[in-house]
Amino acid sequence: MDEKVTREIFPRDSRKSYGLVELMKKSAPIIRKEPEDTVNVWPNLLMIEFICAILVTVGLMVLIQFEHAPLRSLADPSTTPNPMRAPWYFLGLQELLVYFDPWYAGVVLPGMIILGLMLFPYLDTNPKGVGYYTYTERKFAVFNYAFGFSLWWVTIVIGTYLRGLDWQWYWPWSNHLEHMNPALVTLIPLHIIFMNWFHVSEGVGKLITDILFVGYFAVWTIIPMIVWKPMYKAMGLWRYLTFMFFFLSMMGVALKIVFRLLFNIKYVLVTPWINF
Amino acid sequence: MLQKLKSGIVESQIFKSIFRHGYPDNDLDRAYAVFTNVFLHIHPVKVRRSALRMRYTFCLGGITLFLFIILTLTGIWLMFYYTPYTGLAYRNIKDLQFVIFGGNLMRDLHRFAAHGMVLFVWLHMTRVFLTGAYKAPREFNWVVGVVLLVNTLILSWTGYLLPWDQLAYWAVTVGAKMASYTPFIGQNGPWGPQLGFLPTNDIMFMLLGGTVVGQNALIRFYVLHCVVLPLVVTVFLAVHFWRIRKDGFSGPL
Amino acid sequence: MTNPTAGVGHPEETTLSPSEKGRRKFLVAAGWSLVGASMAGSAYATYKFLFPPVLYEPPTVFKIGHVSTYGLGVDERWKLKGRFWVVRNMRGIYNMISICRHLGCTPNWFPDQKRFRCPCHGSIYDVHGNVRGGPAPRTLWRGQITRDPLDGELIVNTVIRLDPDPVQTAQGLWVKEKVKEISPYYITHGSPPGGSCAPNRLLC
């Protein structure tokens, strides 16, 4: 029976110690669905789970015939192994720490990733695509997830294969056993580049970076508001702003990595308290 | 003779007090088997035939749970020989590796099941995302899932310190130092020193129980890894499963 | 249809006098405040509990011998035992803590490159401890260095550290050497006999 009708005939009342949970056409454990074409969990589903467990066990047993749990030499504070590689699932984090200051890459950014993942169901207003695989009905959501995690996997691949001694960039064909000379070009904060280009003072150089930084967030928040009005209307102001903050931060992280790798930029924004 | 022995056992008061149904070879006993058993009760008694399709869930959540169970069991075995003392920990691991029967097997299983758990948590999350299974009314269960993901990663990280080898020491030194960069409450974080946080009173000191990774840090990570975090994971797992049963399955169930 | 939810609430609540209602309200508020206060109290106690007031950590004060036993440049003999380098230049002697200012790994000294380089995230420092590359946000610490008044040997204390604010430049993060060559982090002493700072100009 329709839930609304049920509620009208049997209203919820705190004075009553009883109530009607649900009216069903037939006796079945599945609510609001027909009972036909059902099978018993024992043995049908349990068998599948049991086979899965066996396959996992066999897989693990086979794996440990070829590879053993590593154990390095005894802990020694005076010497760090070179290069010091984190386990694979933290390599993305280790690589991000090369591009950002630790307060951001090590604390705030992971916190934002966790928070952003948690908030995703509350920010995604698209009601379509529940219970089946679809890309066409929710392109933007899938794009976001795929972009975020490809960033994660790309940094893992960089950390595993393209970093060598002294955590320097080594191509697969370079000699990984030889210490390379550090790059001749040192990392430069963006405002110093502007100072040299436009021959302006440090204050003006920093002002340009401030404007660029704030402008990036402001412009890209306002443009979709105008261009994709239906999306903005569907989300509402606060949900939209929250989403854009996370989205633009994610894109910003990717942009900063590209800037660092291509132009050796240390910080895009320098303030007396924090640097990006 | 055997038949008599069997019926003697099955019809005894002790057996009947434990199992309140016959062998599940008919529909009634199969239903009883599931809903009178606390462990099997995370399933419904019946599911739709289409729910047996592997190509929807790929069993990823179940595999993750199974890996967690393997980790719990092998972890308990490892605890029999492990001492959380900086002077002994490394030697205990060496003993497990080279001397104790089955020690290496337990250690290998523990390490690779841990890698596997991280991988399968991520795969499971990707599956849930791609099928839109986090949408209303299941938003909160997704949040619980993210908590479980974070806990899995912290479990891995705390476990890394226990062998007290070079990987252990430096992974935890770097990780703890990251905590010291926490804004407002870390000695190196923005506005941390201004608020009076020093190497002896900030969040990193609280985490390590000292200013460097040493005995206090080892025992803290041991307790977190072996007691606190597994308990937290178990509690959240219970909520996670409970929510699936309450909200129903998003897919072809 | 009449509203079936009219007059919702516990039956006895509708017959209560205003003063009785107020009293109940107060008791509920007081009860919850006590619950909140005891929660806050235990949270504070847990916080205090996690800070050990006594530490058993490795020593931080080292007696490192006379200035004359150190040649020009970076000396690594105390790195294993004390986690610091001793550096002698043409004007005197100082030490630098061998803890990377990024995330605490131990950098390595490369005499051919004249650089300290960290194996964890690739920070690069020169012989002054200035940052020449990589993600390090500050320059290397210098530890306290004093002369023992009795026998003239040097004493290094690695927990008393000099950490001036660096300046962003096109060459990296920089602190002027003058700012760092101060007591008690620097000991003025003549150049070693026959020493030449030509191979590493920063030692001049």
Per-residue pLDDT at C79? 92
Residues A205 and A169 in one domain: yes
Q: Which chain C residues contact residue A13 at CB under 8 A?
A: 4-5, 8
**Cα(A81)–Cα(A91) distance, integer angstroms:** 16
Summarize the confidence of residues B48-76 as an average pLDDT. Answer: 89
| Other C-beta atoms lying within 10 Å of the C-beta of residue C4 | 13
Of B173, B176, B206, which has the smallest distance from its Cβ to C51's Cβ? B206
Of C47, C55, C103, which has the smallest distance from its Cβ to B174's Cβ? C103
Per-residue pLDDT at A27? 47
Of A67, A121, A134, which has the smallest distance from its Cβ to B139's Cβ? A121
Q: Are A69 and B111 in contact (CB under 8 A)?
A: yes
pLDDT beyond 80 at C96: yes
Under 8 Å CB pairs connecting chains A and C tally to 99
pLDDT beyond 80 at B220: yes
Residues B163 and B181 in one domain: yes
Tell me the Ramachandran region of residue A160: left when phi exceeds 0, alpha when psi lies from -120 to 50, beta otherwise: alpha
Report the range out of A181-195, C29-43, C117-131 with the highest average pLDDT.
C29-43
| Other C-beta atoms lying within 10 Å of the C-beta of residue A230 | 7
Residue among B122, B130, B208 with most chain A CBs within 10 A, to mutate = B130
DSSP sequence for B178-245: HHTT-TTTSSSSTTTGGGT--TTTSHHHHHHTSSSSSHHHHHHHHHIIIIIHHHHHHHHHHHHHHHHH
Residue of A nearest to C79 (CA): A78
Residue among B37, B138, B157, B170 with most chain A CBs within 10 A, to mutate = B170
- d(CA B72, nearest CA chain C) in Å: 26
Q: Which chain C residues contact residue A77 at CB under 8 A?
A: 58, 83, 106
Would you say the pTM of this structure is higher than 0.95? no
Residues A42 and A142 in one domain: no
| Mean pLDDT of all residues belonging to chain A | 87
Query: pLDDT for B186-199, tens place per residue?
Result: 999 899 989 999 98
| Burial class of residue A2 (count of CB atoms within 10 Å of its CB; 0-12, 13-18, 19+) | exposed
Residues B130 and B65 in one domain: yes
Band of residue C1 on the pLDDT scale cut at 50, 70, 90: very low
Residues C32 and C113 in one domain: no
pLDDT beyond 90 at A36: no
Specify if A275 maps to a domain.
Answer: no
Residue among A104, A186, A209, A271 with most chain C CBs within 10 A, to mutate = A186
- Chains touching B (at least 3 CB pairs under 8 A) are A, C
Q: Check CB contact under 8 Å for C56 and B212.
A: no
Q: Check CB contact under 8 Å for A186 and C132.
A: yes
Residues C91 and C130 in one domain: yes
Give the structural domain span for C34: 16-49
Specify if A78 maps to a domain.
Answer: no
Residues C23 and C82 in one domain: no
Residue of B nearest to C46 (CA): B206
Band of residue C16 on the pLDDT scale cut at 50, 70, 90: confident
Residues C89 and C29 in one domain: no
**Cα(A266)–Cα(C133) distance, integer angstroms:** 9
Residue of B nearest to A67 (CA): B108
Residues B32 and B142 in one domain: no
Cis peptide before C53 (omega within 30 of 0): no
Residues B42 and B149 in one domain: no
Of C50, C51, C105, which has the smallest distance from its Cβ to B170's Cβ? C105
Summarize the confidence of residues C134-155 as an average pLDDT. Answer: 92
Query: pLDDT for C54-74, tens place per residue?
Result: 999 889 999 999 999 998 889
pLDDT beyond 60 at C45: yes
Strands C73-75 and C84-88: antiparallel
Can you say whether the dihedral through the CA atoms of A151, A166, A76, C85 is positive or negative? negative
Query: pLDDT for B79-104, tens place per residue?
Result: 999 999 999 999 999 999 999 999 99
- d(CA B133, nearest CA chain C) in Å: 35
pLDDT beyond 60 at A210: yes
| Mean pLDDT of all residues belonging to chain C | 88
Whether chain B has a CB inside 8 Å of the CB on A21: the answer is: no
Whether chain C has a CB inside 8 Å of the CB on B210: the answer is: yes
**Cα(B208)–Cα(B206) distance, integer angstroms:** 6
Q: Check CB contact under 8 Å for B171 and A90.
A: yes
**Cα(C57)–Cα(C54) distance, integer angstroms:** 10
pLDDT beyond 70 at B137: yes
Q: Check CB contact under 8 Å for B51 and A52.
A: no
Specify if C9 maps to a domain.
Answer: no
* Residue (of A271, B172, A97) closest to C136 by Cα position: A97
Residues C37 and C107 in one domain: no
Give the structural domain span for B64: 56-247
Q: Check CB contact under 8 Å for A100 and C135.
A: yes
Distances (CA, A) of B68 to A56, B30, C191: 12, 27, 64
Whether chain C has a CB inside 8 Å of the CB on B185: the answer is: no
Query: Domains in chain C: how many in total?
Result: 2
Residues A168 and A213 in one domain: yes
Residue of A nearest to C97 (CA): A78
Residues C20 and C100 in one domain: no
Q: Which chain C residues contact residue B210 at CB under 8 A?
A: 52, 55, 57
Report the b/e string of B135-152 with b at 16+ CB within 10 A: beebbbbbbbbbbbbbbb
| Mean pLDDT of all residues belonging to chain B | 92
pLDDT beyond 80 at A140: yes
Residues A203 and A145 in one domain: yes
* Residue (of C95, A78, C33, C25) closest to B170 by Cα position: A78
Per-residue pLDDT at B101? 95
pLDDT beyond 60 at A207: yes
Residues B12 and B110 in one domain: no
Helix, strand or coil for residue B160? helix
Residues C43 and C78 in one domain: no
Q: Check CB contact under 8 Å for C81 and A78.
A: yes
- Chains touching C (at least 3 CB pairs under 8 A) are A, B
Give the structural domain span for A8: 3-66
- d(CA B81, nearest CA chain A) in Å: 16
Q: Check CB contact under 8 Å for B173 and C105.
A: yes
Length of chain A, in residues? 276
Q: Which amino acid is at B16?
A: K
Residues C89 and C180 in one domain: yes
pLDDT beyond 50 at C2: no
Of A97, A166, A192, which has the smallest distance from its Cβ to C135's Cβ? A97
Query: pLDDT for C17-29, tens place per residue?
Result: 888 889 999 999 9
Residues B37 and B68 in one domain: no
**Cα(C55)–Cα(B211) distance, integer angstroms:** 9
**Cα(C78)–Cα(C175) distance, integer angstroms:** 24
Residues B94 and B41 in one domain: no
Query: pLDDT for A82-138, tens place per residue?
Result: 888 999 999 999 999 999 999 999 999 999 999 999 999 999 988 888 888 889 999
Specify if B252 maps to a domain.
Answer: no
Residue of B nearest to A71 (CA): B165
Query: Domains in chain A: how many in total?
Result: 2
Residues A221 and A98 in one domain: yes
Q: Which chain C residues contact residue B214 at CB under 8 A?
A: 56-58
Look up residue A158 and give its DSSP letter. I
- d(CA B7, nearest CA chain A) in Å: 23
**Cα(B189)–Cα(A104) distance, integer angstroms:** 9
Residue of B nearest to A108 (CA): B182
Q: Which chain A residues contact residue C127 at CB under 8 A?
A: none
Residues C101 and C172 in one domain: yes
Query: pLDDT for B15-32, tens place per residue?
Result: 888 888 888 888 888 888
Residues B126 and B207 in one domain: yes
